[in-house]
Amino acid sequence: MKKKTIGAILKTGVILALVVCFATVAWAEKLSIKGSTTVLPIAQKAAEEFMKIYPDINVSVSGGGSGNGIKAIIDGTTDIADSSRFIKQKEVAMSVENGVYPVPFAVARDCIVPVVHPSNHIDDLSLKQLRKIYQGKIRNWEAVGGPDLEIVAISRDTSSGTYEVWEDIVMEGARVYPGALLQASNGAVAQAVAKNKYAIGYIGLSYLNKELKALTVDGEAASIENAIAYPVSRELFMFTKGWPTGKTMKFINYVLHPNKGQKIVSEVGYVPLY
């Protein structure tokens, strides 16, 4: 009796697996997208809508980070790489070695916003003040017009795209001091700042919520409307293997279309480019 049941389960399993295999082969071309978790919401939503229009293309989206996405382009294991930074010289060299020519498409703009605990009455910091705070030169909120509390600076791990933008624009190459706390994701920074009245952190525009107070930088507020004037912003990219053709081209066209993909970009909290 028992043997029979196991046999039956095995058979059903094998048949199901075969059916699934045939179904995917017969039904859909595959398009795989991989990379930055910052770009992930755009890619995810765009893929869902895209598959409604092109049911014969099966889009699979995964995260893993900008570095991993570009690595996958170099290895040829993905069709499109999401990245929150531009490709590095070294990575270009490596892909050319592999016979791959990565082509960048800017798909959106992201603003990185300094945030503090809502109980903090500071509203604005200059780029210079931000830099000094993250260099560990300003250690007390009083020095920038706030309450007499120690500053707990929360930064992102050094290889995240968000950190690189912060390092470029705010730090201007200076180092974040070793005593700054490091969190591994936008969500973790938001969580840590919301729970700590001493803290300052920085996150992507789409991660703002009611438990955080967004600061203006040099008097400019971070918002979708004000993205060009706001100083701490960056472009988000999708990279393809060579100039895109076929299914890849269809997808890129979809993402860049002002009424389709770019609408999704603003829905998920980033700034559309077209």
Partner 1 sequence: MMRSRQIKEILIRYVFFLLAFISIAILAMILFFLVREGVPVFDEVSVKNFFLGKYWYPTADPPDFGILPLILASLMVTGISAAISIPLGVMTAIYLAEIATPRVKEVAKPMVEMLASLPSVVIGFFGMVVVAPFLQDVFEIPTGLNLLNASLMLAFMSVPTITTISEDAIASVAPELKEASLALGATHWESIIRVIMPASLSGVSTGIILGMSRAIGETMVVLMVAGGAAMIPGSVFDPCRPMPASIAAEMAEAPFRSEHYYALFAIGLVLFIFTLMFNFIADYISHKHRQVGAATL
Residues in contact with partner 1 by the rule CB under 8 A: 64-68, 70-71, 74, 88, 90-91, 94, 149-152, 157-161, 163-164, 167, 173, 175, 178-184, 188, 191-192, 195-196, 198-199
The smaller minimum CB distance to partner 1, of residues 132 and 250, is found at 132
Q: What is the largest CA-CA distance in the chain?
A: 79
The least CB distance from residue 74 to partner 1, in Å, is 7
Smallest gap, in angstroms, from Cβ of residue 64 to partner 1?
A: 6
Quickly tell me which residue has 């703009």 as its tokens.
109
Instruction: Label residue 199 left, alpha or beta by phi (over 0 means left) and psi (-120 to 50 means alpha).
Output: beta
Residue number with CB closer to partner 1 (30 or 175): 175
* 93 versus 229: smaller Cβ distance to partner 1: 93
- Smaller CB distance to partner 1: residue 56 or 178? 178
Cβ 48 to partner 1 shortest distance, Å: 24
CA–CA separation, 53 and 137 (whole Å): 54
Burial bucket for residue 164 (CB in 10 Å: 0-12, 13-18, 19+) = middle
Answer whether 36's CB lies under 8 Å from 258's CB: no
Structure tokens at 253: 């066209």
Alpha helices in 149-260 (DSSP H): 161-166, 186-194, 246-256
Distance CA 147, CA 168 (A): 29
Report, in Å, the least distance between residue 257 CB and partner 1: 29
Minimal CA–CA distance to 85: which of 25, 138, 37?
Answer: 37
Residue with smaller CB distance to partner 1, 3 or 90: 90
Rounded least distance, CB 106 to partner 1, Å: 19
Cβ proximity to partner 1: between 139 and 263 the closer is 139
**In the complex, least distance from residue 184 CB atom to partner 1, rounded to whole angstroms:** 4
Nearest-approach distance from CB 163 to partner 1, in angstroms: 8
50 three-state secondary structure: helix
Q: How many residues does the chain have?
A: 274
When the beta carbons of 41 and 272 are compared against partner 1, the nearer one is: 41
In sequence order, what are the beta bridge partners of 239? 81, 104
d(CA 68, CA 75): 10
Cα 34 versus chain centre, distance: 11
Query: Is the CB of 151 or the CB of 222 nearer to partner 1?
Result: 151
Instruction: Name the H helices within 136-260.
Output: 161-166, 186-194, 246-256
CB of 104 to partner 1, least distance (A): 16
